Structure 1
Amino acid sequence: MPRSRRNTGAKTSRYRYRNRHGRTLRSSVTGPHLPPLRTRIDLFEMTVASTADYLKGVWPEELADVIFEIGAVPLGMPAEGAPVERWKVIGNRIILFRLPIQRLTKLHRDDELHKRMVIESCVFRGVAEYLGKDPWDLAPDRYRHF
């Protein structure tokens, strides 16, 4: 027996808020009252950006045209016995490699503070290589606590 055709142009209000299985629309994974999830990539990018902003504030003329980039891994294989690059300076670009920094660094204490310090130190070392200075000379007042 053939089905009768109904007018599908006008939907009733009960179909507007439900999907075809009768459930309501789904919310985010964390729910409406929890902050969004923070991933390792987000934390890495925020740490690099805040450290780069700090250094650009300390050295505005020297770092005016520097571009900070984040790469996953360096291209090519390292030489036999050579360490894997954590950063690379090419022209006015400083490229920080996320996976070697996060996974190949041995930490004596595996917490968020030490992970952030490792990322900051790589940014400092990359800028120091770009400027031809010692990393400790980039922000001497930052380390004087007396």
Structure 2
Amino acid sequence: MCARPPDAGRSPVHERYAHRVTELERFPSAARPIRPRRRRDRRGRGVRGLLLPPDVPAYATRGDRFDDFVLDAVEHLDHRWSAELAEVEFAVEDVPPVAVTDEEIPLARYQPATGKGRSGTPRRIVVYRRPIEARAVDSEDLAELVLDAIIHEVAEMMGVDPAVIDPEGHGWGDED
């Protein structure tokens, strides 16, 4: 084997730039992450952006709108029954549990408080979104059905007639 001198066989260009090359430049993967290659969007089938910006009202999902209807109904009742509803927790679930054996699918359910302190659960009214949405014709009807379901469960919780809870009626009991 023949050992060549360190400068043998190098071009003048190499000599000119040899002092600029560092260890990281010889191994680019150690210096900076490799960027993924961009693929071309052929025939318009690529990833598309948002159709609506998040701050537009149409961006809200059906679940978000339903939650707003529940909050509106609770706010409507809170003006008159704030002391009675102070310790009540309102929740929304998509469908009632399978263990429900009633003939009719419930629209909402009152769950009394269990236990005391941290281990107990507070009084809770659960509103079921899908059964109510299935019965509603439009958004106005949906808002009224949500209010009716909550009025019915608050009346059951307090042991009074639903007409006492909401004397204005708002659709409760006036079905023809």
TM-score by length of 2: 0.59
Q: Is the 8 A contact 2:109 2:126 kept in 1?
A: yes
CA distance in 2, matches of 1:33, 1:141: 35
Instruction: Give the paired residue count.
Output: 127
For 2:166, give the aligned amino acid. A
From the CA coordinates, give the structure whose radius of gyration is larger: 2
Counterpart in 2 of 1:42? 64
Pairwise CA RMSD of aligned residues?
A: 3.1
Counterpart in 1 of 2:85? 63
Identity %: 25
Cα displacement (A) at 1:30? 0.8
Counterpart in 2 of 1:29? 51
Structural mapping, 1:1-146, within 5 Å: 5-6=27-28, 8-9=31-32, 20-21=37-38, 27-31=49-53, 34-35=56-57, 37-75=59-97, 76-79=99-102, 82-91=103-112, 92-103=123-134, 105=135, 107=136, 110-140=137-167
For 2:60, give the aligned amino acid. R
TM-score by length of 1: 0.69
CA distance in 2, matches of 1:77, 1:112: 27
CA distance in 2, matches of 1:141, 1:77: 32
SS, match of residue 32 in structure 2:
coil
Cα displacement (A) at 1:121? 1.1
Structure 1 alignment gaps of length 5 or more:
none
Cα displacement (A) at 1:20? 3.9
SS, match of residue 133 in structure 1:
coil
